[in-house]
Amino acid sequence: MTRLLGRFLAAALLAFAVALPAAAQTKPDPQNTLFLDTPYGRVVIQLRPDLAPKHVERMKTLTREGFYNNVPFHRVIDGFMAQTGDGQYGNGTGGSKYPNLPAEFSSVPFKRGVVGMARASSPDSANSQFFIMFDETPSLNNQYTVVGQVVSGMEFVDKIKKGSGAGGVVSGPDRIVKMQVAADAK
């Protein structure tokens, strides 16, 4: 029995030692990680410049300018997504001072935790608004630009106040408390 326990512990230690370097290799890049603080807690978003370099750069620029701080989650539909990023008007009709971006669609599916860029009817109309998926929605695949993935704090996204009606417009919406690029976080 003691010999069996010793072998088990040795195997467990070996497995842990082998897994350690693999875990170190998956460490998030602070230059491409966003901290989105909600009233409920911090949401950590790993950006995907490999999929959408122009959109990721725009989000980082706006974040560094403080554009997203205190911006409401103006459209939140339970089971679908939470949309924010209108730092101009706060109601989903505004953008930033920068021009719209050309589409950077990819084959990455829109599933729970995926962060995508909102846009108008033109594929090349994304600007500053983005959304976080509550659930998988295949109809968005190859139609919107994926910019990242929530890697922690999805439980806080789930708590964001939901809107009413088909449009999900929120009365008295929750707001982004503060958004930072992880490399700049204080």
- Evaluate whether residue 10 is within a structural domain: no
Matching residue, tokens 């707001």: 175
Q: pLDDT of 69-90, one tens digit each?
A: 999 999 999 999 999 999 999 9
Arithmetic mean of pLDDT over the chain: 90
Q: What is the pLDDT of residues 36-72, one digit of tens each?
A: 999 999 999 999 999 999 999 999 999 999 999 999 9
Nearest one of 104, 103, 105, 133 to 120, comparing CA atoms:
103
- How large is the C-alpha radius of gyration of the chain? 19
Residue 45 lies in a domain: yes
CATH of the domain at 93: 2.40.100.10
Distance CA 56, CA 72 (A): 20
Which of these, 126, 167, 162, lies nearest to 147 by C-alpha position?
A: 126
Q: Determine, yes or no, domain membership for 6.
A: no
- The answer, yes or no, to whether residue 26 has pLDDT greater than 80, is no
Q: Which of 147, 179, 127 is nearest to 56 (CA)?
A: 147
Which H/E stretch holds residue 181? Answer: strand 178-181
Domain that holds residue 52: 28-184
Confirm whether 81 is domain-assigned: yes
Average pLDDT for residues 31-35, to the nearest whole number?
Answer: 98
Q: What is the C-alpha separation between 57 and 66, in angstroms, rounded?
A: 14
Domain contains 73: yes
Contact 185, 28 (CB under 8 A): no
Instruction: Specify the higher pLDDT residue, 159 or 16.
Output: 159
* Domain count of the fold of the chain: 1
Q: What pTM, to 2 d.p., does this model score?
A: 0.86
The lowest-confidence range among 7-11, 38-42, 85-89, 101-105 is: 7-11
- Do residues 115 and 150 lie in contact, with contact meaning Cβ atoms separated by under 8 Å? yes
- Cβ–Cβ under 8 Å, residues 112 and 149: no
Residue 23 counted as domain residue:
no
In a domain, 21, yes or no: no
Query: Is 55 within the bounds of a domain?
Result: yes
